[in-house]
Structure 1
């Protein structure tokens, strides 16, 4: 009888740990991310300038290192850090033609997400955080 209880306890603990672990470490399926208004160069990725890609990667790093997810004020700080990189991308943009247009189609939807990050409502902040995380991950589906 004691062995059955121990096995049941072990199964319960493993199940709970697995569920908690997968809850905290959900991976974004990057290939499935579609950004409305952005298209490929036929079937190829658009070539960007290095500063743009570095800026997006910096924004992804900022998002990844953000840990104060229960503090509304922290989201406003996050927004400011992201907007600084966003502005730098625009300032250093040397792209021309359709690649430039598609990059702008990619970047424009971030503006309302920034606003949501400083909404003052924790649930809205969290939702916009997830939206931004997904949007940034989608960069690799259109640009190189």
Structure 2
């Protein structure tokens, strides 16, 4: 299941620039399964974790050069996640909508190519999954956990990109 979602997401995001003229929205592909609760548990653990850190690489020990619009979009994400406070489920859903709009700005306006672009997607893909999960979350407790994971993900950007 993880591989299907990863493959579909990567195919949808292969070229940020090519998607500029399209309305980019995150879609979740679901397959019927006998163990729905196990699937839910696996998806939940994915959005709480930051395993992407094990996959991302640096540029010979240095940060990757990102384009100005990507940095601008990530700065908006950082400002939102670091300044917004949520206490109700409605607050968390509103936060998710704002983060989703800002994430879409990054995807639509990215002009990066090559290894820096590939590593951006290693960072971006889990963020997309987390924001999607926050849009659909059903409890404040889960929303709080996902938001903390989103915050870690967004704030780690500056460790890998300049």
> How does the TM-score come out when normalised to structure 2?
0.65
Matches within 5 A, 1:1-144: 35-67=53-85, 69-118=86-135, 119-144=137-162
Cα shift at 1:111: 2.0
Instruction: For residue 53 of structure 2, give the secondary structure of its aligned residue in structure 1.
Output: coil
Cα shift at 1:64: 1.8
In 2, distance between residues paired with 1:45 and 1:37? 15
Where structure 1 has 5 or more consecutive residues not aligned to the other structure, the ranges are 1-33
Corresponding residue number in structure 2 for 1:26: none
In 2, distance between residues paired with 1:90 and 1:35? 20
Tell me how large the CA RMSD over aligned residues is. Answer: 1.3
The runs of at least 4 consecutive aligned structure 1 residues that moved more than 6 Å come to none
Corresponding residue number in structure 1 for 2:10: none
Cα shift at 1:83: 0.8
In 2, distance between residues paired with 1:94 and 1:143? 14
**Greater Rg by CA:** 1
Cα shift at 1:116: 2.9
8 A Cα contact 1:116 1:124, kept in partner = no
> How does the TM-score come out when normalised to structure 1?
0.72
